Amino acid sequence: MSGAQNAVDIIGLNKWFKAFHVLKDINLSVARGERLVICGPSGSGKSTLIRCINGLEPHQEGKIVVEGAALTEEVGQVEAVRANVGMVFQQFNLFPHLTALENCTLAPMWVKKMPKAAAEKLAMQYLDRVHIPDQANKYPGQLSGGQQQRVAIARALTMEPRIMLFDEPTSALDPEMIKEVLETMVELAETGMTMLCVTHEMGFARTVANRVVFMDHGEIVEIAPPQEFFSNPKSERTKEFLSQIIR
Amino acid sequence: MATPSRKPPHVVLPGPVQWLHENLFSSWGNGALTILAALVIWWTVVPLFQWAIVDAAWTGTDREACLPHEHGACWPFITERFGQILYGFYDMAERWRVDIAFVMLAAGLVWLTVPGLPAKRPVGALMLLAYPVVAFVLLVGGFGLEPVPTERWGGLLMTLVVAIAGIVASLPLGIVLALGRRSELPVVKTLSVVFIEFWRGVPLITVLFMAANMLPLFLPDGLSVNKLLSALIAVALFSSAYMAEVVRGGLQAIPKGQYEAAQAMGLGYWQAMAFVILPQALRLSLPNIVGNFIGLLKDTSLVSIIGFFDLLGIVQSGTANADWSTPNTAYTGYAFAGALFWVMCFGMSRYAKHLEGVLKAGERR
C-alpha cells in the first residue's frame, strides 16, 4: 500500500455541518517532508480540512490516514493520530494561567508521562529553537502576539510530532510581528518537518512550499508547485483569487 | 531625533478644604447627598452605639440585671448562655471534644489562608481528608469516647457542621454536574439537567422537611437514618445544584480554542478539564462560588424547622425563657447572632477578594 510512504492520505473525504456540505470529495496525499500551503477565499473549507486531519472536526465520509494510522471511530485511533500531529492556531490558544514553560511541559508530562525535569529540559530546547528562552517564565498575557505564537509553535514541537498543521498562524498578528513567526516556520521547514499551512502569506508559499493547494466552495480546485501556481494558474477561479490577493 | 523622555508632571496634593470640595461637595446634588448620608449615619449608628454599649447591662445572672436598662442591650443573656450558643445541648463533660474540633478547624483554616505559610498542599490535604474523620469521631463518639447523639448538638457547632459539610460536598459535586450538563453524551447530559433543575426548583425548607420527616416513612421497618445525616445530604445535594450552575457559567466563558489546543496536544478529556479548563473556569466563577458559600452558611438556620437548634435557633429559643424575659432580650440575641453570622460571611468574602488578587497576579490575556 502506497499510504505507508505518505505522511497524510485523504481519500474521498466529505464533510457536512448540519445540511451544509463543507468539504466535497477531497483527495490529497502529502509526502513525508513535504510542505503544503493551502489557500483560498474565506469559507472555502481550508481550515476545516486541516482540522479534520487531527480529528478536531469529525468527518462523515471518506478515509484519512496519518502516518499509517486511520482516523476511525475505534478507541485509541484519534489519540494515535494526534501523537504524530502538532497544531498551531490562528488565536495561539496558549493557556493563560500557565507560563510559557508550563504551556510547553503540560503535554509531555501528562500524555507522555515524562518526569518534570526532563520535560522542562525538552521545553527549553524548543523555546530556544523559537528564540525566546528568556521568556520561559512569563505568562502569555505578558508576551507580544508574535512571541505568543512562537511559544505555541514550541509547545506543539515538544510533543515531537512528525507533521505540523498551521491554521492561519499569522492572521491575528500585527504586521510587524508576522515576520518573526514566518521566520520560525521557515527554520522549521529547513529541519525537514512535514508541514500543512493554511495561510494567506503568498511570499511564504512561494519560497517554502513544495505544492500550493487552492480551495474554493469546499473543493480542491488546483494543486501545483508554487512556480506554476503563481505564474500559470489553470483555473479561472484561481486566477480570480490571485488577482484579488496579489496587488 | 527622538523626543527625550521626561518625568510626569508634579502632582500637588489637595488641602483638606479642597479635598472636601472635590469629594463631598463637588455639586449641589452631591452636597445634598453628602448631608443626607451623614444624617442617616447619625440616626442609625449613634442610637445603636447607645443601645449596645452605653446603656447596656454588662453583668448579672438573670433578667433582674437587665430590667433597669430599659434602653440598652442585655449582654448577660449572651454571656450566661454562651455554652449553649456554642455547643447546643452537647453533654457538659464532653464539650472539650467540640473545643478540640473547633481549634483544629481554626488552626487549619488560618494555616491555609494566611499567605506565606509553608506546606499549603499537605495541610490542605490533611484538612480535606483527615480532619473530617477526626472531627466525626470527636463529635459523634466511639473509639472509647462517650457517644453523644446528634439530637443534642446545637448552636455554632450545628451551624458549622451543616455549613462546612454543605460547602465541602457541594463544590466537587457541582463541578461534576456542570461538566455533566455540558457533556456530549445524551444520557449524562439529561441526568445532570434533571438533577439540577429538580433541586433548584424545590425550596430548601421543603427538602429539609422531607428529609427529616418523610424519608423515614419510606424506609423499611427497623431501618432508620440519622436525622442530621439526612439533613446534611439534603443540604449538600441542594447546594450542589446551585454550584453546578455557577461553575457552568465559568465553563461557558472559556473559549473553545482552549479545549481544542489541549485536544490537539493529545490530552484526554479529564486531563484537559483538570489542567486547562477548570483552573480558568473556577477562577472566573470564584466570586459567585463564594457567594453561594455565604448563602449556604446563612441558609443553615433553616434546619431549625426540623427541630435542630443551630446558632440562630438556640438564641431564639433562649429569648422565650421566662428567666430572661426583658424587653431587650430578643433584640440582644438577634444582634449577637447577626453579628456572628456577619463576621463569618464577611471573612469569607474578604478572603475571596484576596484570593482573586493572588490568582490574577502575573497572568491575564
Residues from chain B that touch A97, judged by Cβ atoms under 8 A, are 279-280, 283, 363
| Interface-testing mutation among A90, A97, A149, with chain B (most B C-beta atoms within 10 A) | A97
What is the predicted ipTM?
Answer: 0.92
pTM for the model: 0.84
Q: Report how far apart, in Å, the C-alpha atoms of B292 and of each of A54, B240, B242 are.
A: 40, 10, 8
Alpha helices in chain B (DSSP H): 16-23, 28-49, 63-66, 76-80, 82-87, 95-113, 120-125, 131-140, 155-181, 186-201, 204-209, 215-218, 227-252, 256-264, 269-272, 278-299, 311-319, 329-360
Give the integer Cα–Cα distance in Å for A67 and A78: 12
The region of weakest confidence among A115-124, B259-268, B319-328 is: B319-328
pLDDT over 80 at A3, yes or no: no
**Model confidence pLDDT, tens digit, residues A221-235:** 999 999 999 999 999
- Are B267 and A85 a contacting pair at CB < 8 A? no
pLDDT for B361:
64
- Are B275 and A110 a contacting pair at CB < 8 A? yes
Quick check: B261 and A89 in contact, CB under 8 A?
yes
Helix orientation angle between B311-319 and B155-181, rounded to the nearest 10 degrees? 140
Give the integer Cα–Cα distance in Å for B207 and B302: 11
How sure is the predictor about B223, in pLDDT bands with cuts at 50, 70 and 90? confident
> Between these two residues, B159 and B61, which has the higher pLDDT value?
B159
Cell numbers describing residue A148: 505568543
How sure is the predictor about A63, in pLDDT bands with cuts at 50, 70 and 90? very high
Quick check: B301 and B313 in contact, CB under 8 A?
yes
Residues from chain A that touch B267, judged by Cβ atoms under 8 A, are 106-107, 110-111
Q: Label residue B280 exposed, middle or buried (CB < 10 Å: 0-12, 13-18, 19+).
A: buried
CA distance B365 to chain A (A): 4
Report the pLDDT averaged over residues B285-299: 92
- Are A107 and B280 a contacting pair at CB < 8 A? no
- Show me where the domains of chain B are located: 173-307
Give the integer Cα–Cα distance in Å for B70 and B55: 8
- Are B265 and A159 a contacting pair at CB < 8 A? yes
| Interface-testing mutation among B263, B265, B285, with chain A (most A C-beta atoms within 10 A) | B265
How sure is the predictor about A1, in pLDDT bands with cuts at 50, 70 and 90? very low
pLDDT over 50 at B227, yes or no: yes
**Model confidence pLDDT, tens digit, residues A167-179:** 999 999 998 899 9
Quick check: A188 and A195 in contact, CB under 8 A?
yes
Average pLDDT, chain A: 92
**Model confidence pLDDT, tens digit, residues B17-31:** 888 888 888 888 989
pLDDT for B2:
77
**Model confidence pLDDT, tens digit, residues B142-157:** 888 888 888 889 899 9
Report the pLDDT averaged over residues B265-286: 93
Q: How many CB atoms lie within 10 A of CB A45?
A: 23
Quick check: A172 and A145 in contact, CB under 8 A?
yes
Q: How many CB atoms lie within 10 A of CB B9?
A: 6
Give the integer Cα–Cα distance in Å for A222 and A230: 11
- Report the DSSP pairing between strands A194-198 and A163-167: parallel
Q: What is the DSSP string of A34-73?
A: -EEEEE-STTSSHHHHHHHHTTSS--SEEEEEETTEE--S
CA distance A183 to chain B (A): 23
How sure is the predictor about A4, in pLDDT bands with cuts at 50, 70 and 90? low
Report the pLDDT averaged over residues B95-112: 91
pLDDT for B363:
58
pLDDT for A247:
60
Distance of CA B197 to the CA centre of its chain: 23
Average pLDDT, chain B: 89
How sure is the predictor about B220, in pLDDT bands with cuts at 50, 70 and 90? confident
Q: Report how far apart, in Å, the C-alpha atoms of B347 and of each of A173, B255, B300, B350 are.
A: 44, 33, 17, 5
Q: What is the largest CA-CA distance in chain B?
A: 95
pLDDT for A54:
92
Print burial letters for B314-339: b (CB count within 10 Å at least 16), e (below 16): bbbebbeeeebebebbbbbbebbbee
Give the integer Cα–Cα distance in Å for B224 and A241: 78
- Are A107 and B265 a contacting pair at CB < 8 A? yes
Radius of gyration of chain A, Cα coordinates, nearest whole angstrom: 18
| A108, closest residue in chain B (CA to CA) | B265
How sure is the predictor about B213, in pLDDT bands with cuts at 50, 70 and 90? confident
Radius of gyration of chain B, Cα coordinates, nearest whole angstrom: 26
Q: Report how far apart, in Å, the C-alpha atoms of A113 and of each of A116, A117, A132, B39, B279 are.
A: 9, 12, 25, 67, 21
Report the pLDDT averaged over residues B162-167: 92
- Are A79 and B266 a contacting pair at CB < 8 A? yes
pLDDT for B8:
84
pLDDT for B19:
85
Q: Looking at domain B173-307, which of 2.40.30.10, 1.10.443.10, 1.10.1060.10, 1.10.3720.10 is its CATH number?
A: 1.10.3720.10
Nearest partner of A182 among A194, A196, A199, judged by Cα = A199
Give the integer Cα–Cα distance in Å for B174 and B278: 12
Return all residues near B349 (Cβ < 8 A) that are at least 6 apart. Answer: B290, B294
The region of weakest confidence among A12-26, B86-100, B351-365 is: B351-365
pLDDT over 90 at B211, yes or no: no
Helix orientation angle between B155-181 and B95-113, rounded to the nearest 10 degrees? 50
**A82 closest CB neighbour out of B264, B271, B363:** B264
**A56 closest CB neighbour out of B264, B271, B276:** B264
Give the integer Cα–Cα distance in Å for B259 and B276: 7
DSSP label at residue A238: H
Give the integer Cα–Cα distance in Å for B258 and A116: 22
Residues from chain B that touch A106, judged by Cβ atoms under 8 A, are 265, 267, 275-276
Give the integer Cα–Cα distance in Å for B154 and B310: 5
